[in-house]
A and B are shown apart, each in its own frame.
Chain A
Amino acid sequence: MLRNPLLLKEFRQRMRTWRAPFVICGYFCAMFAFTLFLLHENVQGQLTLLLPSRSEQVFVTLSLVQLLVAAFLAPAFAAGAISGERERRTLVVLLSTPLSALGILIGKILSSSALLALLLAVSLPLYSLVFLFGGAVPGEVVAVFAFQLFTLVLIAAISVCWSTLALRSGWSTVVSYATVAVMVVLTGVLGYGLQLVAAHDPVEYFLVIWGKCLLELNPLWVEAALAGAVPASPHAWLWFALAYSSVCCILAVPSVLRLRPQALSFLPWRPRAEERDYH
């Protein structure tokens, strides 16, 4: 997978300019300042720094902010991955090579999420500050970091699929951000709202179940659950992963057909692809 030509090209193109280290340093400094601010706010007026329960809040806040940044930046990198190639008229040459449609999609997903993954990785040392004050265990940090990477790749995958299906980068960007808004905002507001209603009327089991299901589709909620900040079932992340992986798989089918209309040529009843104006 790491020998994917698109990924190697992305590294060559993006990582050699001064922009990449500048962005990484800038992000790290910003997150460092933010962490210091959180710690300062936590200990202000206290006699002791060692307050594990409040340090846990720092850890949760920091990781949620990181996830939010990753979730809203991922479409910016990925939503033009294929439609941008089409607009630059480089897609037609790429499609004339033996790269498979899945290879192209995977290459684009990995290359568009590589820089953001690096941003998440470089901010890992900040968690050591939280360890210093207690409140988080390494297992939680690993789980949270893995979940952030997974969510990042997931959003990049959905955005790349939209980018393949939409003819213009503008449209794919709009649809990708709408998808992120549904994932992050709509599920959270609806889920939390349903749970609030259910709290007043506990007999409504339907509301409890739907509220729980919607919240478990919200990446911020799942991450907070992994950090132990909210009550949730131990395998809340599994439902999240299954649901959104299914969305990716469903979107991947028309995306593959869009790139390679012959993909289903072995079927006698194959659908007719209308590829005019796509390349």
Chain B
Amino acid sequence: MKSEKLNKLIEKYYAGETSLREEKKLKEALTPENEYEKALFDYTLEERHQTIPTVFDQKINVNSTKKIRSRKFWSLAAASILILLISINFLRLQNTRLPNNGLITLKMGLQSSLVSERLKTLDSMSEEEQKAASAQTLLLNTLVSDRNINVRLAALRALEKQASKELLKELVNSLIEQNSPMVQLALIDLIISNADKVDTSDLKDLLNSENVFMESKTRLNEAIAL
């Protein structure tokens, strides 16, 4: 393309008047002199082919969505009972508590309808807050019932630093409630890295559960073999 024609096309492009076909021609006709435009189109092409976040595939896993819908009632019932048991257990086992206002802030943050708020709340927790029994109950609750995978993973991260024997038992119990393979695997990794505090028979029970994903069972089998 002659440079005069090219310049006219560029002018038309910046006026928002080019058709898609002309824009395609423009991209092909650019010379090294059009350094900026070349970089711009490289950027748009890169964006177009950019892979979406890893968690994304899991989040829109329709299979698990359907599973949730059809088992909704029983899942909810099981989750409620589990949360209740976890709460009672924790209040009994540990006496550390968060000051009331800290707990309320945490509770409100975790109940926010915005994912970013819930993530922010979890990320800003201090180690002391993570240790408190009342906070751990909330974190376990989030791990079991939050509908966003990133939030559930963040709750797990907040819990992992304080993995006591009692907490690990609750984590093992919560595994079958997870409808996301990714969270299940993260949970299993945590459990495996604290294998000395876990009862092997509990792990074997998981292998027989139909709510544990294939990938998770493979990982569990490897851990038990070791």
Task: State whether these chains interact.
Answer: no
